[in-house]
């Protein structure tokens, strides 16, 4: 099913309205499609007549590689020679890889300009991907290096010019390092991440909400609260930037999938009863992202 197009202007005629209603019902989960049917042709007509409103109800989820795969994680690209291969550390000399990391980290510590620090942070991403087996095993060398890197990242989060690169590197470290990395990062960065989430200056940072969830180990109450924010509080730019990166596909493994599905289903039903098209769109997007 193709992504629904942005509709500019009114769709003339009752036939077009009824077709839109039928199209919408096909993508909503039961029994919420029956609730949305109660919206009636009036709301559908008003929705399609509003300029520049995106009808995302039938949007097909974009196929993408998992977060953390080089070239798939936004902001992570190949190194200057394009030579790294994710997870294939055996093809590289381990000592050489660690020397590359140490050189980049040394430059990160010595740089004072925001631009040069951002560039170095970007250069560290493919190296972290190469070191991912060691991060997962949490060996002594990797543990020490990650601890020192987290301390440097904490400094850059106070500066909006370097925060984006720092957050991208941080989410990569936590996803590659697993629970051990999260436990180390929580006392260093947890409070900073919470403050940044409440700061409008960082509203467009796509990884920020996910970092909140990861650092709190997807606490069920936090998942529900943050999902409510996404539906009711976030601005359009923030929702567009961050909703696909929340990592709600991980909820099954954490045992809270059913609860979140029920909550989002209730939000869909409520939005239908209240004829709130924006809330309905967002709740449906999130409902389908919970695998």
Give tens-digit pLDDT for 27-63: 444 544 444 444 443 433 333 333 333 334 334 344 4
**What distance lies between CA 195 and its chain's CA centroid?**
18
Q: Which residue has the higher pLDDT, 110 or 9?
A: 110
**Residue 14 pLDDT more than 60?**
no
Does residue 69 carry a pLDDT above 50?
no
232-62-33 Cα angle (round to 5): 55
Long-range contact set of residues 179-187: C-beta below 8 Å, sequence gap at least 24? 179/217, 180/138, 180/143, 181/135, 181/138, 181/146, 182/214, 182/215, 182/217, 184/143, 184/146, 184/147, 184/150, 185/150, 185/215, 186/215
Please report the pLDDT score of residue 89 as a whole number: 47
Count of beta carbons in the 10 Å neighbourhood of residue 126? 23
Q: Which helix (H) or strand (E) holds 54?
A: strand 53-54
The token pair at 49 is 């007549």
Backbone dihedral angles phi then psi of residue 53, each to the nearest 5 degrees: -90, 130
Question: Tokens 């020490």 map to which residue?
Answer: 144
Predicted confidence band of residue 159 (pLDDT cuts 50, 70, 90): confident
Q: Please calculate the CA angle 177-182-187 and round it to the nearest 5 degrees.
A: 140
Show me where the domains of the chain are located. Answer: 6-54, 64-188
Q: What integer best gives the mean pLDDT of the chain?
A: 74
**Which one has a higher pLDDT value, 204 or 31?**
204
Range 135-159 average pLDDT: 86
For residue 255, pLDDT over 90 is answered with no
Digit-coded pLDDT (tens) for 87-144: 444 544 778 888 889 988 998 888 755 557 888 888 899 999 888 888 878 777 788 8
Per the listing, tokens 């951002």 go with 118
User: Would the pLDDT of 210 be above 60?
Assistant: yes
pLDDT band at 24 (very low <50, low <70, confident <90, very high): very low
pLDDT beyond 60 at 147: yes
**pLDDT for the residue numbered 153:** 93
Q: How far apart are the first and last CA of the chain?
A: 18
The confidence score (pLDDT) of residue 114 equals 58
Instruction: Give Cα 275 to chain centroid, integer Å.
Output: 28
Q: What pLDDT score does 268 carry?
A: 96
Across 29-33, 67-71, 94-98, 235-239, least confident range: 67-71
Query: Of how many residues is the chain composed?
Result: 291
Q: Return the closest-CA partner of residue 70 out of 161, 152, 141, 131.
A: 131
Bridge partners (DSSP) listed for residue 54: 6
Q: Phi and psi dihedrals of 52, rounded to 5?
A: 65, 25
Checking if the pLDDT of 64 tops 90, the result is no
């Amino acid at each position: 099913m193709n992504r629904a197009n942005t509709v500019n202007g009114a769709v003339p005629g009752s036939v077009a309205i009824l077709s839109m209603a039928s199209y919408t019902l096909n993508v909503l989960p039961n029994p919420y499609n029956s609730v949305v049917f109660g919206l009636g042709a009036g709301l559908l007509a008003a929705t399609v007549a509003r300029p520049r409103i995106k009808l995302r109800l039938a949007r097909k989820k974009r196929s993408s590689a998992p977060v953390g795969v080089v070239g798939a994680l936004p902001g992570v690209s190949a190194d200057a020679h394009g030579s790294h291969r994710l997870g294939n550390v055996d093809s590289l000399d381990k000592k050489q890889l660690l020397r590359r990391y140490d050189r980049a980290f040394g430059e990160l510590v010595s740089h004072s300009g925001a631009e040069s620090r951002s560039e170095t942070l970007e250069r560290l991403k493919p190296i972290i991907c190469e070191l991912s087996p060691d991060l997962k095993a949490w060996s002594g060398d990797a543990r020490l290096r990650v601890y020192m890197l987290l301390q440097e990242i904490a400094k850059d989060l106070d500066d909006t010019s370097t925060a984006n690169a720092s957050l991208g590197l941080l989410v990569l470290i936590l996803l590659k390092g697993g629970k051990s990395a999260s436990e180390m990062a929580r006392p260093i960065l947890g409070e900073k991440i919470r403050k940044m989430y409440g700061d409008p200056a960082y509203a467009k940072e796509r990884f920020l909400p996910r970092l909140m969830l990861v650092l709190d180990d997807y606490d069920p109450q936090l998942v529900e609260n943050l999902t409510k924010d996404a539906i009711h509080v976030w601005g359009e730019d923030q929702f567009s930037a961050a909703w696909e990166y929340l990592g709600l596909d991980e909820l099954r493994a954490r045992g809270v999938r059913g609860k979140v599905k029920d909550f989002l289903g209730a939000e869909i039903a409520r939005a239908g009863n209240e004829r709130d098209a924006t809330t309905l769109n967002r709740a449906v997007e999130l409902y389908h992202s919970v695998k």
